[in-house]
A and B are shown apart, each in its own frame.
With several copies, the nearest count.
Chain A
Amino acid sequence: MTGTPDLYTDGGTEPPVVVKLGGARAVDPAGAVGDVAHLVANGREVVVVHGGSTEVDDQLEALGREPEYVETPGGVTGRFTDEDAMEVFEMALPGKLNTELVVGLRNAGVDALGLSGVDGGLLAGPRKSAVRVLEDGKRKIKRGDHSGRIDAVDDGLLSGLLADGYTPVLSPPMLGEESDGDVTAVNTDADRAAAAVAGALGGELVVLTDVAGVYEDPDDADTLIGAVDGPADFEDLEAAAEGFMTRKVMAAKEALEGGAAAVYVSDANVRDPIVAALDGAGTRID
């Protein structure tokens, strides 16, 4: 999907870069913040997307509440976000983390502007309030979840802000559409949010994580997969991905299917991590 340079709205030949920063404690944004500043100073359009699952847990615990995780029959573990948890989610992500990241980027010279997925209906899709869970070996339907999957991105809002020189800093929640037409703030995975944004903008998606990329064998540093080109390669990648990396690979697939130019999964904890990723340090998926 890359190869031939196209002309973008800014008159340049490079697509916007969508950078996903981790919520995991292992992912230090300091290097990434300076790197975003370099890219922007060099005229590149950048959108930053961040998660913050551990911060949600920390704040729940500070408030004396217990984070609730459920296992689905398929073996996926995920947060169950009831109404109270959603409130803490809003406090942790668009509240604390987004504000701090915007301030950090502004101190690096970036005209950063924070938005959650509810703002302007930026990240929208159907709300899912029921989940299938496995509890004590029993399959159950559990209701009251606040989650959803993005099926629409207001790319016009982002393009407008980018054209005006702002660097959007995005975070969950997304805008969940109920069957009765009402909307609610709901949880969504930040990797997939970044993928949806990269797809909508035709951008390059850089997913920064706490390992160097996707490995054929995670215990063998020599088996880092450098480039994934075409369906056969991608099947190998899907087979190789384990644990949390499965989600990164699924996000990569969604980004490319949505129109992203390329996806990079790479290490956050190196010097200039975004430029390193774009230069091929981690796993590149086309």
Chain B
Amino acid sequence: MTEAECVECGSAVTLHDDLEIGEIVDCGTCGAELEVVDVSPPVLERAPELEEDWGE
């Protein structure tokens, strides 16, 4: 178990071990959706809002 800081509220966010780049985790304190942009050490960024869309 590792931790990283929520970029929205500054709280510590607990992360599981097999964390992958691109994964989305929720901040338990403020509820923000955070994207894992690096894993060693873990770095979180606000996850982009994306419309549900599709192509052919």
Q: Is the interface of B mostly helix, strand, loop or mixed?
A: loop
B19-56 interface bits toward A, Cβ cutoff 8 Å, 1 = contact, 0 = none: 01011100000000001000000000001101111111
Q: Does A186 make an interface contact (CB < 8 A)? A: yes
**Is A130 a contact of B54 with CB atoms below 8 Å?**
no
- The complex places the Cα of A77 from the Cα of B48 at a distance, in Å, of 20
Q: For the side of the interface on B, what is the size category?
A: 10 to 19
**Is B54 a contact of A189 with CB atoms below 8 Å?**
yes
**Is A139 a contact of B24 with CB atoms below 8 Å?**
yes
- The complex places the Cα of A140 from the Cα of B50 at a distance, in Å, of 12
Residue of B nearest to A51 (CB): B56
Which of chain A's residues have a CB closer than 8 A to the CB of B24?
A: 132, 138-141
**Is A81 a contact of B47 with CB atoms below 8 Å?**
no
Which of chain B's residues have a CB closer than 8 A to the CB of A188?
A: 55-56
Q: Closest approach, in angstroms, between the C-beta of A250 and any C-beta of chain B?
A: 10
Which single member of B20, B23, B47, B50 contacts A128 (CB below 8 Å)? B50
**Is A189 a contact of B55 with CB atoms below 8 Å?**
yes
Which single member of A56, A78, A130, A187 contacts B48 (CB below 8 Å)? A130
Stretch of A1-9, A11-19, A106-114, A142-150 contacting B (4+ beta carbons < 8 Å): A142-150
Q: For the side of the interface on A, what is the size category?
A: 20 to 34
Q: Closest approach, in angstroms, between the C-beta of A99 and any C-beta of chain B?
A: 15
Residue of B nearest to A132 (CB): B50
**Is A128 a contact of B53 with CB atoms below 8 Å?**
yes
Q: Closest approach, in angstroms, between the C-beta of B14 and any C-beta of chain A?
A: 16
Q: Does A72 make an interface contact (CB < 8 A)? A: yes
Interface centre among B23, B52, B53 (most CB of A within 10 A): B53
**Is A53 a contact of B52 with CB atoms below 8 Å?**
no
Which single member of A89, A130, A131, A138 contacts B56 (CB below 8 Å)? A89
Q: Closest approach, in angstroms, between the C-beta of A93 and any C-beta of chain B?
A: 7
Which of chain A's residues have a CB closer than 8 A to the CB of B52?
A: 72, 74, 76, 132
- The complex places the Cα of A190 from the Cα of B22 at a distance, in Å, of 29
Q: Does A199 make an interface contact (CB < 8 A)? A: no
What 19 additional pairs, Cβ within 8 angstroms, besides A148-B53, A189-B55? A23-B56, A51-B56, A52-B56, A76-B52, A79-B56, A81-B55, A128-B50, A130-B50, A131-B50, A131-B53, A132-B24, A132-B50, A138-B24, A139-B23, A139-B24, A142-B22, A147-B54, A147-B55, A188-B56
Q: Which 7 A-B pairs have the closest CB atoms?
A: A187-B55, A78-B54, A139-B24, A53-B56, A140-B22, A147-B55, A141-B22
A-B contact pairs, 21 of them (CB 8 A): A51-B56, A53-B56, A74-B52, A79-B55, A79-B56, A81-B55, A130-B48, A130-B50, A131-B53, A138-B20, A138-B24, A140-B20, A141-B48, A147-B55, A149-B51, A186-B55, A187-B56, A188-B55, A188-B56, A189-B54, A190-B56
